Amino acid sequence: MEKKITQRTKAIIAVDYAGQPCDYDSLRAIADRHNLILIADACHSLGAEYKGKKVGTLADLTAFSFHPVKHITTGEGGMVVTDNAEYAGKIRRFRNHGITTDHRQRSKDGTWYYEMVDLGYNYRLTDFQCALGLSQLRKLPGWISRRREIAAQYDGAFAHIPAIRPLRVLKDRKHTYHLYVIRLGQEGSEADRSVIFDSLKKMGSV
Ligand SMILES: *Cc1c(COP(=O)(O)O)cnc(C)c1O
């Protein structure tokens, strides 16, 4: 990754593929060395951990998706978390047409005043979606344990089949299994994914 960095690079975006966090200590060191912002795409890894630290605390900005296929859903939508006040302000403006304050803040401050200072969009989650998201959040721990149970069953079932190699889970990570990824075929003789998929489909397994 470091070889790809040029004068024009502004940020590193790391994807916690399948639900296992990336190596954030190394990413942080590279980001600091080149003065880059570190962004985590944690759409697969809500609830996961790296060296005892939760996803969402590992990068400057962390993005989550609440699309229906993800760990929890709000129908559509997502969330960015950061502990940087400047980024938080920018993102709040960006989701609200580039406007400096929202209606809640104006009523709190007792003022009508606002400015449109940036280009922005309407990326606001509705209150209905947030209510759904909060009730989903309460169910998250149970769903993560169930995903881990199922993954452990697969691990056990595949342990003695050399042609199926599951994605390795590293010791210092806690995986939350948005996906259970396997590599097919022995070393040097990769199996064709579509052939396997079609056969499974014929057997009624997918
Ligand atoms: C789902 C997903 C996204 C996109 O999420 P949206 O809510 O559809 O914008 C981005 N990155 C990864 C890794 C995802 O899994």
Task: Please indicate, yes or no, whether residues 187 and 123 belong to a single structural domain of this protein.
Answer: no
Identify the domain boundary among 117, 137, 157.
Answer: 137
Task: Please indicate, yes or no, whether residues 21 and 94 belong to a single structural domain of this protein.
Answer: yes
Q: Mean of the pLDDT values across residues 34-51?
A: 98
Q: Where are the beta strands (DSSP E) in the chain?
A: 11-15, 37-41, 49-50, 53-54, 61-65, 78-82, 164-166, 173-174, 182-186, 189-190
Look up residue 172 and give its amino acid: D
Task: Please indicate, yes or no, whether residues 47 and 108 belong to a single structural domain of this protein.
Answer: yes
Look up residue 35 and give its amino acid: N
Task: Please indicate, yes or no, whether residues 127 and 166 belong to a single structural domain of this protein.
Answer: no
Task: Please indicate, yes or no, whether residues 178 and 78 belong to a single structural domain of this protein.
Answer: no
Q: Which range has the worst mean pLDDT, 43-57, 70-84, 176-190?
A: 176-190
70 as an active site residue: the answer is: yes
Residue 10 CB partners (closer than 8 Å, separation 6+): 36, 37
179 lines ligand 1 (CB under 6 A): no
CATH number at residue 82: 3.40.640.10
Per residue in 138-189, pLDDT (tens digit) is 999 999 999 999 999 999 999 999 888 899 999 999 999 999 999 887 766 6
Q: Which range has the worst mean pLDDT, 20-24, 94-98, 105-109?
A: 105-109
pLDDT for res 188: 63
By most ligand atoms within 8 Å of CB, the mutation choice from 17, 65, 66, 177 for ligand 1 is 65
C-alpha distance from residue 53 to each of 49, 58, 124 (Å): 5, 7, 29
Residue 80 contacts residue 53 (beta carbons within 8 Å): no
In which domain, by residue range, is 15 found? 2-137
Q: Which is catalytic among the residues 54, 70, 90, 171?
A: 70
Task: Please indicate, yes or no, whether residues 99 and 147 belong to a single structural domain of this protein.
Answer: no
pLDDT for res 189: 66
Q: How many domains does the chain have?
A: 2
Residue nearest to atom 9 of ligand 1 (CA): 65
Q: Mean of the pLDDT values across residues 187-198?
A: 78
Q: Mean of the pLDDT values across residues 81-89?
A: 96
Q: What is the 3-state secondary structure (H, E, C) of 34-66?
A: CCCEEEEECCCCCCCEECCEECCCCCCEEEEEC
Identify the domain boundary among 137, 166, 192.
Answer: 137
Question: Residue 54 — pLDDT band, cuts 50, 70, 90?
Answer: very high
Task: Please indicate, yes or no, whether residues 104 and 151 belong to a single structural domain of this protein.
Answer: no
Q: Which range has the worst mean pLDDT, 28-32, 36-40, 92-96, 161-165?
A: 161-165
Higher pLDDT, 115 or 190: 115
Task: Please indicate, yes or no, whether residues 35 and 109 belong to a single structural domain of this protein.
Answer: yes
Task: Please indicate, yes or no, whether residues 151 and 56 belong to a single structural domain of this protein.
Answer: no
pLDDT for res 202: 94
Q: Mean of the pLDDT values across residues 96-121?
A: 83
Identify the domain boundary among 106, 137, 168.
Answer: 137
Per residue in 123-135, pLDDT (tens digit) is 999 999 999 999 9
Residue nearest to atom 11 of ligand 1 (CA): 43
Task: Please indicate, yes or no, whether residues 106 and 195 belong to a single structural domain of this protein.
Answer: no
Task: Please indicate, yes or no, whether residues 146 and 52 belong to a single structural domain of this protein.
Answer: no
Look up residue 111 and give its amino acid: T
49 lines ligand 1 (CB under 6 A): no
Indicate whether 97 pLDDT > 90.
yes
